[in-house]
C-alpha cells in the first residue's frame, strides 16, 4: 500500500494508505496513527498518492481528487447505481 498525503483546507497534513474510497458518497478514509481517519472531499485541498502504479508501464504521483472526479463523471455518464446525478461542491 502506498501512502497518500492529504492537505485539508484548514492546513492540516495527514499521511497514510487509503482505506475506504467512496467518491460517490463524498468521503474517503486513510489509516493514520493506527486509526481510521475519515475525510469529506469538501474539506480537503490536496490528496496525492506518491509512487502509485498508474498503468502497466507507468509509476507516478496520482492526484486522487482528479481520479475521483473522473470516477464520478463516468458514474453519471453510464448511470451507475449509487452515483449522484448532481455534482458535489468540490467538483
**What per-residue confidence (pLDDT) applies to 32?**
86
> Which 3 state secondary structure label does DSSP give 82?
coil
Domain containing 28: what range?
3-77
Residue at 14 is within a domain: yes
Which residues face 35 on adjacent strands?
A: 32
Rounded Cα–Cα distance for residues 15 and 86 (Å): 30
Structural domain count, the chain: 1
Rounded Cα–Cα distance for residues 21 and 64 (Å): 10
**What per-residue confidence (pLDDT) applies to 5?**
97
Residue at 18 is within a domain: yes
Rounded Cα–Cα distance for residues 58 and 41 (Å): 26
Residue at 85 is within a domain: no
Say which residue the cell 498525503 belongs to: 5
Q: Please list the pLDDT of the chain residue by residue as tens digits (91 residues).
A: 689 999 999 999 999 999 999 999 999 999 988 899 999 999 999 999 999 888 899 999 999 999 999 999 999 999 999 999 999 999 9
Amino acid at each position: 500500500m502506498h501512502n497518500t498525503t492529504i492537505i485539508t483546507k484548514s492546513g492540516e497534513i495527514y499521511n497514510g494508505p487509503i482505506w475506504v474510497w467512496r467518491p460517490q458518497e463524498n468521503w474517503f478514509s486513510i489509516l493514520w496513527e493506527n486509526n481510521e481517519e475519515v475525510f469529506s472531499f469538501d474539506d480537503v485541498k490536496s490528496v496525492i498518492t506518491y509512487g502509485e502504479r498508474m498503468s502497466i508501464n507507468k509509476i507516478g504521483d496520482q492526484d486522487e481528487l482528479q481520479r475521483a472526479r473522473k470516477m464520478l463523471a463516468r458514474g453519471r455518464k453510464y448511470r451507475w447505481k449509487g452515483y449522484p446525478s448532481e455534482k458535489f461542491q468540490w467538483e
